[in-house]
Amino acid sequence: PGIYVCAKCGHELFSSHSKYEHSSPWPAFTHTMRPDSVAKREERPGALKVTCGKCGNGLGHEFLNDGPKRGQSRF
């Protein structure tokens, strides 16, 4: 339990309350701590490249409509 932060700068990214079990080997979250926690840019249809909203460190992807509930995204 707690807050997941950027490994590079310590910026708050995700709360453990938004973490859920997914078939991928990486942690999965439904939403960020705040709207400015991350920056996003389209990488391909259905997937956004996600970086730290403060320092730009690479964090992976947001997969649109792939969350635990219909219409939710997965980080």
Q: Where are the domains of the chain?
A: 3-63
Q: Considering the chain, what is the average pLDDT of its residues?
A: 94
Q: 5 forms bridges with which residues in the sheet?
A: 12
For the segment(s) 3-63, the CATH number from 2.170.150.20, 3.20.20.220, 3.40.50.2300, 1.10.3210.10 is 2.170.150.20
User: How many angstroms separate the Cα of 40 from the Cα of each of 1, 21, 28, 57, 62?
Assistant: 25, 23, 16, 12, 8
- pLDDT classification of 63: cutoffs 50, 70, 90: very high
Overall pTM > 0.75: yes
**Phi, psi of 16, rounded to the nearest 5 degrees:** -65, -20
Q: What is the DSSP letter of 3?
A: E
- pLDDT classification of 48: cutoffs 50, 70, 90: very high
